[in-house]
Amino acid sequence: MKSLELLNELQEANIKLVAVSKTKPIDLILEYYNAGFRVFGENRVQEFVDKYEKLPKDIEWHFLGHLQTNKVKYIAPFVNLIHSVDSWKVLKEINKQAKKNERIIDCLLQFKIGREESKYGLDMEKTKTLFESDVFQQMNHIRIIGVMGMATFTNDKNQIRQEFRRLKHIFTSLRQTYFQNEHSFKEISMGMSGDYQIAIEEGSTMVRIGSLIFGPRNRN
Ligand SMILES: *Cc1c(COP(=O)(O)O)cnc(C)c1O
């Protein structure tokens, strides 16, 4: 299994590899689990819950798709990290559902760094409003541990690099302003199959890789 080399290589560099298993069947995921993979990422709630129920319980489950508020309750009992917090509203709901489940859920704030219109994400202004609000101060069941972003789907490596650089910059600035005493704020989730090397050069701590590990998909 060639991707095992990648797993080991990234482990040595202290970078977390999230194996993005969306659309892939249980049996295939189990093969990777048996080879040593423990962190898997999914982007659809129903599929995520189904796989959680059927697969070994020591898997670390990451959610990385756009999350609708009314679906947070299904993943709140077990999700380990939500990469895709792209609104205030969803964060409030995650806090509420985490409380119900007597948990603290780790989250990343997703920033819009790419050019595509459709990409969900926060901007600095919304984030500042959030962090400076009383409501946020009272959200005791979520922990923001970093940021996430997706670069534009393009062949222009320079553009991709600039976008990752921007995310790193956003991370640094948030850390200085709001998280100076919180060592848990340390993750930069950036890099996918096509651009993870650039992401790592620009300071990624977590890469989300699907097709390079599992082969091509029919849908996203
Ligand atoms: C699908 C997906 C990935 C993985 O994409 P690949 O190009 O297959 O590596 C990473 N991040 C998110 C948010 C995704 O939806």
CA distances from 46 to 96, 107, 146 (A): 20, 20, 26
> One digit per residue, pLDDT tens: the chain, 220 residues?
779 999 999 999 999 999 999 999 999 999 999 999 999 999 999 999 999 999 999 999 999 999 999 999 999 999 999 999 999 999 999 999 999 999 999 999 999 998 876 668 999 998 999 999 999 989 999 999 999 999 999 999 999 999 999 999 999 999 999 999 889 999 999 999 999 999 999 999 999 999 999 999 887 6
Question: How far is Cα 220 from Cα 210, in angstroms, rounded to an integer?
Answer: 10
> In sequence order, what are the beta bridge partners of 63?
42, 82
> In sequence order, what are the beta bridge partners of 19?
40, 209
pTM for the whole structure: 0.96
| Cα(19) to centroid(ligand 1), Å | 9
| Ligand 1 neighbours (beta carbon < 6 A) | 20, 22, 43, 64-65, 150, 192-194, 208-212, 220
Q: What local confidence, expressed as pLDDT, does residue 119 receive?
A: 66
User: How would you class 125 by CB atoms within 10 Å of its CB: exposed for 0-12, middle for 13-18, buried for 19 or more?
Assistant: exposed
Question: How far is Cα 211 from Cα 193, in angstroms, rounded to an integer?
Answer: 6
| Cα(196) to centroid(ligand 1), Å | 11
Q: What local confidence, expressed as pLDDT, does residue 7 receive?
A: 96
Neighbouring residues of 101: CB distance < 8 A, sequence distance ≥ 6: 76, 77
Q: What local confidence, expressed as pLDDT, does residue 68 receive?
A: 97
Specify whether the CB–CB gap between 17 and 207 falls below 8 A: yes
Q: What local confidence, expressed as pLDDT, does residue 71 receive?
A: 98
Taken as a whole, the chain contains a residue count of: 220
